Amino acid sequence: MDLVVSLALQILYGMANLALISLGLAIVFGMMRVINLAHGEFLMLGGYTVVVATNNGVNIWIAMLVLAPLVVGVIGVVVERLLIRWLYGRMIDTLLATWGLSLLCIGLVTSLFGASTATTISPPLGVITIGAYTSSGYEMFLIVVTALLLLAGYAALKLTPLGLVARGTMQNAEMSSALGVSTPRIYMITFGLGAAVTGLAGGLLAPITGVLPTIGAVYIAKAFITVISGGMAILTGTASASVLLGGVNGIVAFLTGPTIGEVALLVAAIVLLRLMPRGITGTFFRKGL
Amino acid sequence: MKLNRRHFIATASAAALASPAIIGRALAADGIKFVSILDQSNGLDIYGKPMVDTTRMAVDEINAAGGLLGRPIDLKVYDPQSSIQLYTQFATQAAAGDRADVVHAGITSASREAIRPTFSRFQVLYFYNVLYEGGVCDINNFCTGSTPAQTVEKLVPYTMNKWGKKVYIIAADYNYGQITAQWVQKYVRDNGGDPVATEFFPLDVTNFGPTIKKIQQARPDMVMSALVGGAHVSFYRQYAAAGMNASIPIASTTFGVGNEHKLISAEEGNGMICAYSYFEEIDNAANKAFVKRFRDRLGADAPALNELAARAYEGAYIWAEAVKQAGTAERMAVIEALRSGVHYDGPSGRVQIEPRTNHANQNVYLAELKDQSFQILETYENQPPTDTLLVCDLVKDPSQSTFKFENGLKAAGIDI
Amino acid sequence: MRLPRDLRGTLVIAALGSGFMLVAPEVLAFFTIITLSQVIGLAILALSLALVWGFGGILCFGQTAFFGLGAYAYAVAATNIGGSTGAIPIAILVAAAFAAVLGYFIFYGRVSDVYLAIITLTVALILYSLTRRTSGPEYKIGNALLGGFNGTTAPPLNIPGDPQAVLFPEHTFYVAMIALIAAYVFCSWLVRTHFGRVCIAIRENETRAELLAYDIRLYKLGIFMIGAALAGLGGVFFSVGVSRVTPDVFSLSQAAVAIIWVIVGGRGTLIGPVLATFALHYLTASLGTQSILNTNLVLGIVLIIFVLLVPKGVVPTLADLVELRRQRRIARLRERWLRARRPHTGR
Amino acid sequence: MKQAETVLEARNLSMHFGGVRAVDGVDFTLSENELRCLIGPNGAGKSTFFKCLTGQLRPTAGEVLIRDVNVTGREPHEIGALGVGIKTQVPNVFEGLTTEENIWISARRWHRPARARTLTAETVERLRLGDVRSDPVGQLAHGQRQWVELGMVVAAEPWLVLLDEPAAGMTHEETVRTAELIQEINSTATLIVVEHDMQFIRMISRKVTLFHEGGILMEDTMEAISADARARQIYLGHRA
């Protein structure tokens, strides 16, 4: 029984982890149809922000929850202004440019901080004991944060003017531009927002996975697959795909081993895309956000 | 018009492809050519960067002292960017293009096995200065790093005596991890223990949650880790975050050689036990001087020193000793000299080539991690590579060039 | 882009390529020739993607799946057979057969654009994970040890029928170069056939092609399989050049650079991506020989500048420039001619 | 008009989108050599009906028979393979290819290379596209693009031709020329033309089917329909 509860929490964390690393990418993809190959590096930059800040005496919570999203969000806006905005409607060129950006980020961070960084931050919040099993309190915290982030996203989409535009764009990009919505500004805000959410995720994961200049490569493929499996709806898509893929991955990894767990995740994604070529939200939850 | 343009492109690309050769020849005019191929970017750089730093330091020191046989050493450093394909390309370039006198190269066993045949084919002396799973039997290849019989064989009984006999093994999923896990299983059984489970992790795994649950379920007395690379560092963090480091201690065959102990916090790492042929904390004059020279050279940016970094330095010096003794940098003469018992007294103590295996007899230290530095608990002097000695005798048959453990230990006739 | 017409340009390029093949071993350093064999393998991969994506309109992000399968199939077959002669067709067939299954799944499931890209990429990543899983000694196909992360040995080419007569590096270079030229001429010919033109038409407008009673699924499957077979051939030469196959052939970065070669060289041309492969590979390799600038930093900047300033790719951009100059010259000539004919009025 | 063989038949054809019944239980027959116009206001269901006939949509219920072959839910290329030429509402041409190439692709589907070449040349002449034969279709004027698409339909030498708004967006001269072409095509093929340009329909029409709210309201000559009160009300709204 202890094992079941403890394992369930572990799998829930796996799902939250997927959602967390994918959400920023989903925002950018869902609203702008832009595939950001530098997404993994945005996560990495979030992590570095936290490391540099805490090493300079900033409180870890402020570093993770305020500085990481702020810094990466600003980087996102700058990148959008300097690079992405020249490439709207050229999805493949965006792919190439963001791949270049990803290499650039890795190179820059390596030049600045070296190949490996002394990260002395450890996950706060101690240990939760369930019978004979223990879990990381910080992992539980991440589950809660992910849930809150999704709720906040829901509220933002439902209640704010930007959310209204976003909903329109998700349903039909041409329509909203025909309605005279100033898309360039919206795009800039969206990209910045996506980057900020990604920065937050990177910051939050830094204590538990550590940061290296090349850590982005670990995340990018998974985030990609989650977003595409989820479909166009940002929140329901990310959430449903994370639950499904995270669940498959967690259970199989526990029963067999980590590699088969990874393979199971990928196979699940392929089967899913065969059955639902437009992703989960292309078939179910069509009215979802 | 069209014809001209295409012709231009073809000539331009031909010229472009040719130019590294031209540059290479110009640089390598009269010095002794020493090529280093080590990953300085992408994933494996946590190992490669300090190794390149110490290699440069060794060559600079030798040159500052008047070079070798009155000639300077020309050092060329290639960065294969953690790509096997670039490894083979640079190996070919070093051998056929630069006509190197010696190449010090490779970090993972994968890269070593990819380039070793190239150096045999082109008859270029090859040094591999990294701790590994043992089993290379190649007249042309000198493996100066420690092997499991030198380190793991000490580490397993020590930690089992201290913590208990049930051992949970986790290892990186490639041949270093696979074969090292078999060595661990063997040594655990030899010492009357029980290897309860063995699990392998691809190098890009960062979520160890399910495994930590399995460890909790299996309740071993200790965990033996042979994890590799930057991503795997997260195991130690997540293990500590789940409160596990307080209840089930970890020993490792790899932790620290990528300076992992500087990447995680003191609390996360405290209590881990490892055995290598070098620790920065070794207390002798030679090492203290070495560490000081290294710090002075690189200033505040200097990384911590570990077996890989120290052995890259010592490897260069052993080769230099052999060249001096042979009186030439010519390959066969240097091989002869190396195999005649050349030794170098460096920061790790005496390192001496063992002629039956082309491996090194070396000192081994066992240490416990405390507040991000290793406290040396035991010292084992002049340890021979008994694992490779089981399968390799280059004195009897010098024509060999194989990796004996390619198919695992059982296939090599070793009972696990 | 218009339908390609005669093969004159192709033959000129093929002749230049043959010239390069004959001259290269005389001019270039020995190790460059050895390295070129593997780059040629990559160039054939780029060519296959240029065909499938540039002409078939199928954005196969995971083209490396076939490339890698070809490489592994060659290594395994050559190790077991004990010679390269039979192993090369096996490699090509394995890649094409896998593409047949995957393509059936994709095209008959009506998966398109970004989803197709992601599915093919996911397949490549699955192969990446799976091949990396095969580290243990139990993963053996016949005599060939798969070797997981370390990869497996790819035997060298030999003279057909005589496994002992292993080719010298120069000869391997000749064979690879001939294969590249042949593959290039084949692709050029293919896009001029009825089949090729229908594939281009499908790229331009799927609905119209369907309404003209072409079964687009079949055509897409066809060009997808041909592309896969070529990629498999590329895998053979790459593995022979490296003398080893590792799971890295399936990696995300390998998949991305293949796309980059095609974008840089220019979509809708065949020679562009091939030249881009040589150029970018040279750049990557020469960055690895210096240690002043971080390799990734430089590559990243180059790519970004490229996408902003030369978005169409090098070859189409150069072709446009030539065309522009030609038109200007014609306009100038016409103007001069008109002026000459004009009666001298006024002055 | 003599009693001719039925070449196309729709039985109880329905197409529902969620709750919207775009086409609702339509029965329809078309005889050989007919030139039939489908008209109706926007949203009457004529285009949806058309797409069900051409395989672009899979009907919710009912069936479509072409020369007694049940083609319900078949792929467009299978319907095309029966010798049916189709032009869609949105111009569907190969933008990047030249006029000649567009038409060649169509002709070559059915003929050997030599015949395909002559047929292409003939079609270019017939549609008076000689001046733009080597221009990419993407650069042509709207009317010319429509003709290129018609040319593709013609070059396949179909026996049954389905055209959705062939004269949309054309100038008056172009419309007149298109009407001539359609009559010319009718000499060798049966046609269905979906249109809402009344003037154009008057130029070509024999028999007209009027769609309204997903069903067929009436089927008669254009004169009769113009005279009908209900039809006028549908078309002209409250002004009737």
pLDDT in tens, B56-100: 999 999 999 988 998 999 999 998 877 777 788 889 888 888 889
User: From the list C17, C30, C295, which residue is nearest B41 (CB)?
Assistant: C295
Q: Is residue D56 part of a domain?
A: yes
> Along the 347 residues of chain C, how does pLDDT read in single tens digits?
455 566 788 888 898 999 998 888 888 877 788 888 889 999 999 999 999 999 998 989 899 999 999 999 999 999 998 888 889 999 999 999 999 999 998 888 777 667 788 788 888 888 887 888 777 777 888 888 887 777 888 888 888 877 778 888 888 999 999 999 999 999 999 998 999 999 999 998 888 998 898 999 999 999 999 999 999 999 999 999 888 898 889 988 888 888 888 888 888 889 999 999 999 888 877 776 665 677 778 778 888 887 888 777 777 788 888 878 877 887 787 787 777 776 555 44
Per-residue pLDDT, averaged over D78-98, amounts to: 87
Report the distance separating Cα B161 and Cα B155, nearest Å: 10
Q: Enumerate chain D positions whose Cβ falls within 8 A of a Cβ in C.
A: 54, 56, 75-81, 86-88, 92-98, 101, 104-106, 108-109, 113, 136, 149, 152, 156
Q: Is residue A13 part of a domain?
A: yes
Chain A residues whose beta carbon lies within 8 Å of the beta carbon of residue C59: 92
Q: Is residue D88 part of a domain?
A: no
Q: Is C191 part of the contact surface with chain D (CB cutoff 8 Å)? A: no
pLDDT at C146: 83
pLDDT at B29: 45
Mode of pairing for the β-strands spanning C244-245 and C152-153? antiparallel
Report the distance separating Cα D46 and Cα D107, nearest Å: 29
Angle of the A91-113 helix axis to the A39-55 helix axis, nearest 10: 30
Residue A288: band (very low, low, confident or very high) from pLDDT cuts 50, 70, 90: low
Contact between C118 and A225 using a beta-carbon 8 Å cutoff:
yes
What are the C-alpha distances in Å from C121 to residues A22, C34, C114, D11? Answer: 17, 30, 10, 45
Residues D61 and D171 placed together within one structural domain of the fold: yes
User: From the list C242, C295, C322, which residue is nearest B2 (CB)?
Assistant: C322
Interface of B with C in 141-170 (CB under 8 A): none
Residues 6 or more apart whose Cβ sits within 8 Å of residue B148: B133, B134, B180, B183, B184, B187, B253, B387
Residue D137: band (very low, low, confident or very high) from pLDDT cuts 50, 70, 90: confident
Question: How far is C305 from chain D, CA to nearest CA, in Å?
Answer: 27
pLDDT at A270: 78
Contact between B259 and A116 using a beta-carbon 8 Å cutoff:
yes
Contact between B14 and C28 using a beta-carbon 8 Å cutoff:
yes
Which stretches does DSSP call E strand in chain A? 127-130, 133-136
Chains C and D touch (3+ CB pairs under 8 A): yes
Contact between C318 and B5 using a beta-carbon 8 Å cutoff:
yes
Q: Enumerate chain A positions whose Cβ falls within 8 A of a Cβ in C.
A: 35, 37, 83, 86-87, 90-93, 95-97, 99-108, 110-111, 217, 220-221, 224-225, 228, 259-260, 262-263, 266-267, 269-270, 273-274, 277-279
* Helix, coil or strand: residue B221: coil
Chain A residues whose beta carbon lies within 8 Å of the beta carbon of residue C132: 259
Question: How far is C273 from chain D, CA to nearest CA, in Å?
Answer: 21
Structure tokens, A143: 């589950």
Report the distance separating Cα D219 and Cα D211, nearest Å: 9
pLDDT above 90: percentage of residues in chain D:
5
Q: What is the pLDDT of residues D151-172, one digit of tens each?
A: 999 898 898 999 988 888 888 8
Work out how many CB contacts closer than 8 A connect C with D.
74
| Amino acid present at C230 | L
What are the C-alpha distances in Å from B287 to residues B290, B292, B350, B381? Answer: 5, 8, 12, 16
Q: Is B145 part of the contact surface with chain A (CB cutoff 8 Å)? A: no
Q: Is the pLDDT of residue B196 over 70?
A: yes
Q: Is the pLDDT of residue A38 over 80?
A: yes
Chain A residues whose beta carbon lies within 8 Å of the beta carbon of residue B174: none
Residues D76 and D174 placed together within one structural domain of the fold: yes
Q: Is the pLDDT of residue A36 over 50?
A: yes
Structure tokens, D226: 């113009």
What is the number of helices (H) and of strands (E) in chain B? 16, 16
Structure tokens, C68: 């890698």
Q: Is residue A280 part of a domain?
A: no
User: From the list D86, D94, D149, which residue is nearest C201 (CB)?
Assistant: D94
Q: Is the pLDDT of residue A286 over 70?
A: no
Angle of the B209-218 helix axis to the B233-241 helix axis, nearest 10: 60
What is the number of helices (H) and of strands (E) in chain C? 13, 4
Exposure string over D37-75, b if 16+ CB within 10 A, otherwise e: bbbbeeebbbbbbbbbbbbbbebeebebbbbeeebbebb
pLDDT at C3: 53
Give residue D227's domain range: 1-83+159-179+190-240
Report the distance separating Cα C313 and Cα C292, nearest Å: 29
Q: Is residue A252 part of a domain?
A: no
Name which of C20, C26, C35 to mutate to probe chain B: the one with the most chain B Cβ atoms within 10 A of its Cβ: C35
The phi and psi torsions of C111 (rounded to 5 degrees) equal: -85, 135
Chains D and A touch (3+ CB pairs under 8 A): no
Chain C residues whose beta carbon lies within 8 Å of the beta carbon of residue A93: 263, 307, 311
Interface of A with B in 228-257 (CB under 8 A): 250, 253-254, 257
Average pLDDT, chain B: 85
User: From the list C20, C137, C238, which residue is nearest B408 (CB)?
Assistant: C137
Report the distance separating Cα A57 and Cα A52, nearest Å: 9
Per-residue pLDDT, averaged over B201-216, amounts to: 82
Interface of A with B in 7-26 (CB under 8 A): 7, 10, 13-14, 17
> In CATH, what number is assigned to the domain containing residue D1?
3.40.50.300
Q: Which chain A residue has the Cα nearest residue B45?
A: A115
Residues D214 and D163 placed together within one structural domain of the fold: yes
For the question of an ipTM over 0.90, the answer is no
Q: Is residue D205 part of a domain?
A: yes
Would you give the end-to-end CA distance of chain C in angstroms? 47
Residues D76 and D165 placed together within one structural domain of the fold: yes
Work out how many CB contacts closer than 8 A connect A with C.
114
What are the C-alpha distances in Å from D67 to residues D4, D54, D73, D79, D80? Answer: 12, 14, 16, 11, 13
Q: How many domains does chain D have?
A: 2
Residues D112 and D132 placed together within one structural domain of the fold: yes
pLDDT at C342: 65
Contact between C303 and A263 using a beta-carbon 8 Å cutoff:
no
Interface of C with B in 273-302 (CB under 8 A): 275, 278-279, 282, 284-289, 291, 294-296
Question: How far is C212 from chain D, CA to nearest CA, in Å?
Answer: 6
pLDDT at B26: 38
Q: Is residue D2 part of a domain?
A: yes
User: From the list D101, D113, D152, which residue is nearest C212 (CB)?
Assistant: D152
Average pLDDT, chain D: 85
Residues D74 and D15 placed together within one structural domain of the fold: yes
Residues D139 and D62 placed together within one structural domain of the fold: no
Give residue A164's domain range: 9-224
Contact between B210 and A139 using a beta-carbon 8 Å cutoff:
no
| Amino acid present at B340 | S
Q: What is the DSSP string of C57-87?
A: ----TTTHHHHHHHHHHHHHHHHHHTSSTTH
CA angle B202, A52, C293 (to 5 degrees): 70
User: From the list C2, C197, C205, which residue is nearest D93 (CB)?
Assistant: C205
Q: Which residues is B344 bridged to in the sheet?
A: B351
Q: Is residue D92 part of a domain?
A: no
Q: Is residue D14 part of a domain?
A: yes
Q: Which residues is B362 bridged to in the sheet?
A: B383
Would you report the helix, strand and coil content of chain D in percent, each value rounded to 5?
40, 25, 30
Structure tokens, C91: 């490699």
Q: Is residue D129 part of a domain?
A: yes
What are the C-alpha distances in Å from C14 to residues A251, C46, C267, C282, C287? Answer: 55, 17, 19, 21, 30
Q: Is B230 part of the contact surface with chain A (CB cutoff 8 Å)? A: yes
Residues D10 and D77 placed together within one structural domain of the fold: yes
User: From the list B214, B247, B262, which residue is nearest A118 (CB)?
Assistant: B262
Angle of the A216-230 helix axis to the A234-255 helix axis, nearest 10: 120
Q: How many domains does chain A have?
A: 1
What are the C-alpha distances in Å from B115 to residues B89, C242, C318, D220? Answer: 9, 9, 40, 84
Q: Is residue A279 part of a domain?
A: no
Q: Is residue A181 part of a domain?
A: yes
Average pLDDT, chain A: 80
Q: Is residue D214 part of a domain?
A: yes
Contact between D101 and C207 using a beta-carbon 8 Å cutoff:
no
CA angle B257, B261, B264 (to 5 degrees): 135
Contact between A214 and B199 using a beta-carbon 8 Å cutoff:
no
Contact between A91 and C122 using a beta-carbon 8 Å cutoff:
no
